[in-house]
Amino acid sequence: QNRRLEEAPGKLFELPEVLATAGSHTLNVMQKGGRVARQARMFISYSEVSIKNPDNSGRALPLTYVCCREQAEDGACWHLLTSEKVACAADARRIVSHYERRWLIEEYHKAWKSGGTCVESLRMQTRDNLERMVVIKAFIAVRVLGLRQGGISEETQNDSCEKILTPTEWKLLWVKLEGKPLPSQAPTLKWACLKLAKLGRWHDSKRTGRPGWVVMWDGWFRLQDMVEGYLVMKSLDQEI
């Protein structure tokens, strides 16, 4: 929101034009909807500001303003207000890095609350049972989030899937979907992410290469059924 300031130029969104650049960094803009993935060069500036009350009553609120924007006319621009002190470019960059993590937090909530484990749809008879299920599903959401984010990120997609999956889990996934002998080494996180989504009936109809949370959760649920069945049969074989 374009807040009014006590300082010149008087409006928050006009402030970047009069501030000196304190540094820059490269931001990886992820693909979303019709937006293609790209790298953006972001320039950072900051200043102490005093935000006026909307009705001009009371004294102004002292805050620190941090701006992170592209120089292109229609480029990304973030106007951030914080109560933390910013004394140098490194402090400003730290504030920006906090804001950059909001996407990961939003994805976790999708994995946990709505599209993934669907914790919001739980209906329990007691508060204690509800709290237990909320905690259990929170841990499941962390694992599925780690698998999905690790599989679609260029920085981690070639890492071993054993960072998230147990040897039993990925081997059962391989036998189910590959139909050929097991490899000598664990496959990548990208492989595990895409195959788990395929197990959840994902067909990449939009050609994004990014499975959604519903198919990831369905795939995870089916994989855990496979693991449980395997362990039961293994225990029966030992008894026989």
pLDDT for 240: 47
Q: State whether 178 and 198 are in the same domain.
A: yes
> Is position 30 within any domain?
yes
pTM greater than the 0.75 cutoff: no
> Is position 144 within any domain?
yes
pLDDT for 190: 96
Phi, psi of 48 (to 5 degrees): -80, 140
Q: State whether 75 and 140 are in the same domain.
A: no
Q: Domain ends where: 100, 121, 152?
A: 100
- In tens, the pLDDT along 8-25 reads 778 888 888 889 999 888
26 pairs with which residues across the strands?
Answer: 41
**Cβ–Cβ under 8 Å, residues 219 and 199:** yes
**Cβ–Cβ under 8 Å, residues 50 and 6:** yes
> Is position 2 within any domain?
no
146 pairs with which residues across the strands?
Answer: none
CATH code for the domain of 128? 1.10.740.10
Q: Which domain holds residue 72?
A: 12-100
pLDDT for 189: 97
Q: How many domains does the chain have?
A: 2
Q: Which long-range contacts (CB under 8 A, 24 or more apart) does 86-90 make?
A: 86/46, 88/22, 89/22, 89/23, 89/44
Binned average pLDDT, 10 residues per bin, the chain of 240 residues: 80 88 83 71 92 80 92 85 93 92 87 79 85 89 92 91 96 95 96 96 87 92 95 78
Give dist(CA 215, CA 150) in Å, integer.
16
Q: State whether 112 and 168 are in the same domain.
A: yes
pLDDT for 10: 80
Q: Domain ends where: 100, 118, 149?
A: 100
Q: Domain ends where: 68, 100, 132?
A: 100
**Cβ–Cβ under 8 Å, residues 48 and 64:** yes
Q: Which two tokens stand for residue 195?
A: 């195959």
pLDDT for 100: 86
**Got the DSSP string for 75-116?**
--EEEEEESS---SHHHHHHHHHHHHTHHHHHHHHHHHTSSS
Give the DSSP H/E element, type plus range, for residue 148. Answer: helix 127-152
- Residue with token string 């709290």: 131
Beta strand pairing status for 38-51 and 23-29?
A: antiparallel
Burial string for 174-208 (b: 16+ CB within 10 Å, else e) reads beeeeeeeeeeebbbbbbbbbbbbbbbebeeeeee
Q: State whether 96 and 123 are in the same domain.
A: no
| Separation of first and last alpha carbons in the chain | 70
Q: State whether 116 and 154 are in the same domain.
A: yes
pLDDT for 90: 93
